[in-house]
Structure 1
Amino acid sequence: MSPSCAWQRYFQLTQWDEIDQWLAEKPETRNWPGLLKTLSYFDTINLACRIEAEMLMAVGLQDPVCPPATCFVSYNQIKGKKACRVYKTTGHNLGQLHQQYALNWLESRFNFSQKPIHIDGKPKEDQD
């Protein structure tokens, strides 16, 4: 799927009244093909194939802002190690359950210390 197709699919799945209004203001110079071409330069799929670091993606299947179908277009282009957490009943805000999952995921990969760290890098108990 080309980037412009991802945007085309995006606008089939969600509605932005602002886009319709913007197009209607200058119909002689603004149109869907031109808009989709411009947006293709700002599509995450353009960089997804460059991701080499391990990554976690989360998707709320009820998300009207970032429809899952458009998220998976970029996810499928990532060549590095990746994981996707899907929340069937969640929208754009994944909530505390995912925040905790993401923190645990990061901790398991970076072996974060449980001790609070001060801004200068020393454990807080050593600061007195």
Structure 2
Amino acid sequence: MPVVDLPPTELDRYKPDLTHEPDFDAFWRDTLDAARGAGGRPAAGRVDTGVRAVDTYDVTFPGWAGEPVRGWLVVPKGRTARWCVVEFQGYGVGRGRAHEHLLYAACGIAHFVVDARGHSRGDTGDVSALSSGPHEPGFMTQGAHDPHAHYLRRLITDAVRAVDAARELVGAELLAAAGPSQGGGLALAASGLATGLDAVLPDVPFLCDHRRGALVSDRVPFREVAQFLRKRPELAEQTFRTLSYFDGMNFAARASAPALFSVALMDPVCPPSTVYAAYHHYAGEKEIRVYPFNEHEGGGALHAMARVEFLRGLGDF
């Protein structure tokens, strides 16, 4: 895939205006207060995965409206970790199998792998029935008519409650939010909404600069928005207003924890300009690793160890 977005010199300057509405902070304060007010406590049961070098737990915690969300907690065997990484999943991806998530624990870091409910590999059902109205197949336009009804309101609430659960369950001194693609967008949401984060690790993050993404990318998930508006052009401004409540650059502007971003300049799924939009608005200390010849896989295994080293630089383990 050749470079199809802005050239690097323009990416270095690309900082679109924030899109948050006047009630953005109140919207999220009320949403999270309601979720926490629904009650429930996280619970973890140890499971035998056949991997002897780590301890693994099957976690259930209350998310949106107190509904149960699942996750794997994989920890260094027999000891307490100083860091815990709360990792969110990409679009259409659930938590998978526990033995797929060993790197962080092998490096001495607790790893809480959060399920994305309703996605293809997720093993917790999507029981939220609030989204209604016309929408394109997929998740991006479910509830496009109203931010209170949009699917992403529920998913982002789950992400913040996952950070709450990790703080209660793991007992780690330091917490990081991380994830690739949609997971990176959720990490950015957590960076602006959750309290007490010590690092943020968004890789080729999705859910940023929605209007540009829908104009530039011809791949799902941004394509869902363009397809929807091709059929219902009269709903364009309402749709982008709704999506502004879930835009990573609006959350990034409210963040304070040190962050390590990654971006791939040949990425057709999350065009690099959308990543830079969030990066340039990120309010905390930040750095970005650029992979000029990579697509949506980003920095892959190389960047996985870059994340570990970044955490080590913030608080050795």
Q: Same fold (TM over 0.5)?
A: yes
Q: In structure 1, the residue corresponding to 2:283 is in which secondary structure?
A: coil
Deviation by residue 1:71-126 (Cα, 9 ceiling, x = unmatched): 111111122211110100111112101111111121222201xxxxxxxxxxxxxx
> Runs of 5+ in structure 1 lacking a partner?
113-128
Aligned to 2:256, the other structure's residue is in SS state coil
- The correspondence of residues 1-128 of structure 1 with structure 2, limited to 5 A, is 1-3=17-19, 6-15=209-218, 16=220, 17-23=223-229, 27=232, 31-94=235-298, 95-112=300-317
Q: Go from structure 1 to structure 2 and tell me whether the alpha carbon gap of 1:21 and 1:10 turns closer, same or farther (over 3 Å shift).
A: closer
Shift of 1:23: 4.2
Do the aligned partners of residues 101 and 61 (structure 1) sit closer, same or farther apart at CA in structure 2, a change above 3 Å counting? same
Give aligned pairs, total. Answer: 109
Larger Rg: 1
Following superposition, the deviation at residue 3 of structure 1 comes to 2.7
Runs (5+) with no aligned partner, structure 2: 1-16, 21-208
Contact conserved, 2:19 with 2:244, CA < 8 A, in 1? yes
CA distance in 2, matches of 1:47, 1:79: 9
> After the TM superposition, which segments of 4 or more aligned residues of structure 1 sit over 6 Å from their partners?
none
Distance 1:77 1:104, change over 3 A: same
Normalised by the size of structure 1, how large is the TM-score?
0.72
The answer to which structure, 1 or 2, has the higher relative contact order (CA under 8 A, 6+ apart) is 1
Pairwise CA RMSD: 2.2
Task: Output the CA distance in 1 between the equivalents of 2:285 and 2:305.
Answer: 21
Amino acid across the alignment from 2:225: I
- The whole-number CA distance in structure 2 between the counterparts of 1:14 and 1:38 is 19
Name the SS for the 1:111 alignment partner. coil
Change (3 A) 1:77 1:20: closer
Cα distance in structure 1, aligned partners of 2:272 and 2:216: 10
Please report the TM-score for the alignment, with normalisation by the length of structure 2.
0.32
Question: What is the one-letter code of the residue matched to 1:64?
Answer: P
Q: Please state which structure has a larger fraction of its residues in strand.
A: 2
Q: Distance in 2 between matches of 1:93 and 1:99?
A: 11
* Alpha-carbon separation, structure 1, partners of 2:227 and 2:280: 33
Q: Percent identity?
A: 33
Change (3 A) 1:21 1:71: closer
Higher helix proportion, which one?
1
